[in-house]
Structure 1
Amino acid sequence: MTISQEHNQQVKQLQELIKGIDYAMLSTVDDDGSLHSRPMYFNSDIDADGTLWFFTSASSHKVFEIEHHQQVNVNFSSSTQQRFISISGIAELVKDRQKIQERWQPELETWFPQGLDEPNIALLKVNIKKVDYWDDKSNCHAKTISGL
């Protein structure tokens, strides 16, 4: 199997694991080294290359933290399906208006009432480095997807 085929299969596996989970916990590192976690709406926005996307305000504290420490962790869980996913990666802020428009969904108006006209609207791009997951199909044994 070629690397790109294996990569595509890993991305598809990750897409299946997080399918139907609308929220994730994003953990960042503050300047004092402490971890800071908050819920983030996830609209199933994962690229074919395995990149995760979240909407945010460019002036939020999490963006400040990411500008100083790009390493993040994103956790998804579905207790009803006994599925738990932990993703470590590198985050960056993206202010590209075209990308923001491409990824916009009406559900986001809950957090951005002015829609695409919201001041400071931006995207957090998370490049995945490693995925650990537990699910009922694997009898809750930890499994890892690396090299995404």
Structure 2
Amino acid sequence: MAHAEDDQSKVWALAEKIGFCMLTTQSGGDLRSRPMSAYAERSNNAFYFLTDVASHKDEEIARYPAVCLAFADPKGQTYLSVSGTAEIQNDREKIRDLWATPAKAWWDNPDDPSIRILKVTPTSAEYWDSPGTVISYVKMAAAAVSNTRPDMGENVKVGM
């Protein structure tokens, strides 16, 4: 059980470190992704996003609440995919709590009535954590020369 707890801790730490993700929703038969600033809160077992009441993702989530969050740090060769269930909330206190400088690009202040919270409760995650770009390239080159498979770091599936 301690190993599962360590893996979950790693998921939350990676999400906090990377910060931005691609939020994937379903729109009819298509999947749509868009960049979002994620607020990871392990204590609430949730990822939060500020969104606008008029956005299409709110309608998509109402019909198809299963979503995927894809975090990527290509320079550090670290990647995280989180699957979960999304819901839209109008929690004005939480909006003020999450309000930060990036939100000012979209709204004047946290009291704007069009702001909503998109909450994602994770069900599972998977991460890939490599030793870094230079080391990864060296390992791949060595593996190619020796006709072996390189050790590219951790790849772990995590129940949330």
Q: Which TM-score applies when normalising by structure 2?
A: 0.78
How much identity, in percent, do the aligned residues show? 30
Higher helix share: 2
Q: Does residue 82 in structure 1 map to residue 77 in structure 2?
A: yes
Segments of structure 2 that go 5 or more residues without pairing to the other structure are 132-150
4+ runs deviating over 3 angstroms = 5-11
State the AA in 2 paired with 1:71.
Answer: A
Whole-Å Cα distance in 1 between the matches of residues 9 and 157 of structure 2?
A: 14
Deviation larger for 18-27 or 61-70: 18-27
Q: Which amino acid aligns with 1:29?
A: Q
- Give the counterpart of 2:34 among 32, 38, 44: 38
Q: Secondary structure at the match of 1:119?
A: coil
Check the 8 A contact 1:11/1:49 in 2, yes or no: no
Residue-by-residue CA offset, 1:75-95 (whole Å, 9 max, x unaligned): 000001100101100000010
Instruction: State the Cα RMSD in Å.
Output: 2.0
For residue 94 of structure 1, the aligned residue among 86, 89, 94 is 89
Contact 1:11-1:50 at 8 Å conserved across structures:
no
Select which of 63, 72, 94 maps to 1:68: 63
Between stretches 19-28 and 135-144, larger displacement belongs to 135-144
Provide TM-score, normalisation by structure 1: 0.84
Kept in 1: contact 2:128–2:156 (CA 8 A): yes
Structure 1: which 5+ runs fail to align?
Answer: none
